[in-house]
Amino acid sequence: MARNCLPRVLIMQTTRPTTNASHFLLSKLLGVLLLVLLSPHSLASGGLPAFLAEYTVSRNGSEIGVRTHRLSKTDKSYLYEARMHTTGLASFIKPGTITERSHWRLIQQRVVPHKYEYLDSSDEDRNSFLDFDWRNNSVMNHVGNKPWQMPIPDGTQDKFGYMIALMQDLQKGNTEPEYRIADGGRLKTYRFKALGNEVIATPAGKFNTLKLRGTREDKKNPVTYIWCLPEKNYLPVKIERHRKDTVYTMSLNRLEGL
């Protein structure tokens, strides 16, 4: 997202004297201009535009599904939703749809989650629901017969909505963000570091991106590489997750909005 800035207004004096009424009208005009420029809808940091991004998902180069990310805004909060359905031979092994939803608010330009949902249409035992209680700094996970609750520090994210927080931080110039993620009854730390610019090709076209490397505290967890598009609010256009000899890839093939 391009950063808005106030225009430099140059007032040139002429040989004709300016009346008090003219000064008053000029002041009112500049005041209205500043209010418009400083409104939350105009500032890059004041809100996030809705978008839909569709990705092709592959495993070691073979397509296994399509995943669609959608950001929408309600009256007081945002909904970030992903739907994944398998394609080809993978649809026989894992039919159905997996849906993730992150409900969150933008408070003082920070992503603050208040609910997370994971829904697997082919295996309801895997469904989980997280409720964030920020008054008590805790999170409750309702999953099957094994609910859990734990304390969380300020800034904790859910395991899907943190991607929006990453986009926000990159827009602010933070190229080494770190997040605490509430997942599986414990906090996990995700760390990212910018590796530099790189031109990549996706089904949606070629893009000049910022490449990041993501790691977690647990060495057993995979390394993730993310290519973000600066002129589109640092939207990820490609994501690779490396786990031993397997590489899972998401590549952008369609974008609406932004």
pLDDT at 76: 82
What domains are defined for the chain?
Answer: 49-257 (2.40.360)
What phi and psi, each to the nearest 5 degrees, are found at residue 32? Answer: -65, -40
Contact 242, 223 (CB under 8 A): yes
Q: How far is CA 44 from CA 18, 69, 176, in A?
A: 36, 21, 20
Summarize pLDDT for 114-156 with one digit per residue, the tens. Answer: 999 999 988 877 889 999 999 999 999 987 677 889 999 999 9
Q: Does residue 183 register a pLDDT over 50?
A: yes
Looking at the DSSP assignment, which residues form a beta bridge with residue 113?
A: 104
Q: How confident is the model at residue 95 (pLDDT cuts 50, 70, 90)?
A: confident
**Residue position matching structure tokens 């999170």:** 139
**Going by DSSP bridges, is the β-strand pair 148-151/62-73 parallel, antiparallel, or unpaired?**
unpaired
pLDDT at 192: 97
Q: Does residue 80 register a pLDDT over 70?
A: yes
Summarize pLDDT for 195-252 with one digit per residue, the tens. Answer: 999 999 999 999 999 999 999 887 676 799 999 999 999 999 999 999 888 999 999 9
Q: What percent of the chain has pLDDT over 90?
A: 63
pLDDT at 217: 81
Q: Does residue 162 register a pLDDT over 80?
A: yes
Beta strands in the chain, from DSSP E residues, in sequence order: 51-59, 62-73, 78-86, 97-107, 110-120, 128-133, 138-142, 148-151, 178-183, 186-202, 205-216, 223-229, 235-243, 246-257
pLDDT at 196: 97
pLDDT at 211: 98
pLDDT at 27: 40
**Residues in Cβ contact with 105 at an 8 Å cutoff, skipping those fewer than 6 apart:** 76, 77, 78, 112, 114
What phi and psi, each to the nearest 5 degrees, are found at residue 250? Answer: -115, 125
Summarize pLDDT for 9-59 with one digit per residue, the tens. Answer: 222 333 344 444 444 333 433 333 333 333 333 323 346 899 999 999 999
**Residue position matching structure tokens 């009346």:** 19
Greater model confidence, 106 or 36: 106
Greater model confidence, 204 or 5: 204
